[in-house]
Amino acid sequence: MQMLDWRICSSCKDSCRYCFASEKLPAVGLDQERIILDKIKNSNIEAVNITGGEPLIDAERCFRIIDSLHHSGKSVYLSTNGYQVLEYLTHIRETVSLLGLPLDGPDEESNMACGRNRGSFGQVLQILESHAAKDIPIKIGTVVTKKNLSCRNLEGLAELMDHHPVNIWRIYEMLPENRAIQNRADLELAPKDLEELIHIVRRISEKKHRWHVELVTRRMRNANYMIIRPNGTVIIPIDDGNQVDEVLLGSLLDMSLPELIEKWNKVARERNDIFYSKRRLSDLGFNTLEVKG
Ligand code: SF4
């Protein structure tokens, strides 16, 4: 295990309909936060992705966690909706190895197609145009659903990023997990939609860009993440081809990280095949996702 995700809170002021963050869970208190931090810092984990909800909604806490991990030599990735990034850019530049920002379309209206708030697009653009952000490695994340799957949308995004300092463009197939399950009828990609997406991404990747594009399908994500939830419990999301269930492995408050990793490995091995038997899709060679296990 090289990397884990830590959803440090559940709250977020955005309203993405594909959101798969943990439903309202209380965040751990300061003492419990220290226990979790110590266990991560004393482990071989190389990188931690700080996410939420929106992790910067409590910026003081978010940077307390980021600073502690950074000073212990871990790489810290921050996945945020971007609303408070400009305010903390200097701090982010000093401590964060990869800043993840969302863009679902190349303009305000298309960016709102899956529920992002008005203003989100302009906020991310402002960060990309900020001089101070130029030396922060930036990953743009795009969740593709039925609502924003089109050549025009994705090629428009590619063109927009050609003019900005983006390092990685990661395109995610929408996952039916948590809140996203309620909206799946409207959003979920059918097999033929996924084939279209693969075709579009392949065409985009054939051109020369300053960024690297990665398509991350449901199949690739299955049993591939170990996630600490806001309350300290640890899950592995398992996609059985119908929906994604968060299988509880235990709590980092009363188990050691090696114990949880051992459990994670066991469940990942046992459950990884289920997906393939229910959802026979080929990913046509897009196997660029870093395997975290
Ligand atoms: S996807 Fe991210 S930005 Fe959107 S509602 Fe969920 S936590 Fe907030």
Could you list the residue range(s) of the whole structural domain that residue 84 is in?
3-278
| Inside any domain, residue 200 | yes
| Inside any domain, residue 38 | yes
- 203-212 pLDDT tens trace: 999 999 989 9
Q: Tell me whether the omega of the peptide bond preceding residue 53 falls within 30 degrees of 0, making it cis.
A: yes
Residue with the smallest CA separation from ligand 1 atom 4 is 16
Ligand 1 neighbours by CB, cut-off 6 Å? 12, 14-16, 19, 21, 52-54, 81
| Inside any domain, residue 287 | no
pLDDT category, 288, cuts 50, 70, 90?
very low
- 128-185 pLDDT tens trace: 999 888 889 999 999 999 999 999 999 999 999 999 999 999 999 999 988 899 999 9
- 248-276 pLDDT tens trace: 999 999 999 999 999 998 888 887 655 54
d(CA 174, CA 138): 21
Domains in the chain, number = 1
Lowest mean pLDDT among 33-37, 69-73, 215-219, 272-276: 272-276
Residue with the smallest CA separation from ligand 1 atom 1 is 19
| Inside any domain, residue 146 | yes
Q: Sort strands 244-251 and 233-239 into parallel, antiparallel or unpaired.
A: antiparallel
pTM, full prediction: 0.92
Lowest mean pLDDT among 27-31, 206-210, 283-287: 283-287
| Inside any domain, residue 89 | yes
CA atoms within 13 A on the CB side of 121: 17
| Inside any domain, residue 283 | no
Atom of ligand 1 nearest to the CA of 13: 8
Reference 154, options 106, 216, 208; nearest CA is 106
Compute the distance from residue 25 Cα to the ligand 1 centre, in Å.
15
Compute the distance from residue 79 Cα to the ligand 1 centre, in Å.
10
Q: What is the CATH number of the domain that holds 185?
A: 3.20.20.70
| Inside any domain, residue 284 | no
| Inside any domain, residue 293 | no
Q: Is the pLDDT of residue 293 over 70?
A: no
Residue 286 is predicted with a pLDDT of 39
Give the mean pLDDT of 39-49: 95
Q: Is the pLDDT of residue 20 over 90?
A: no
pLDDT mean across residues, the chain: 89
Residue 284 is predicted with a pLDDT of 38
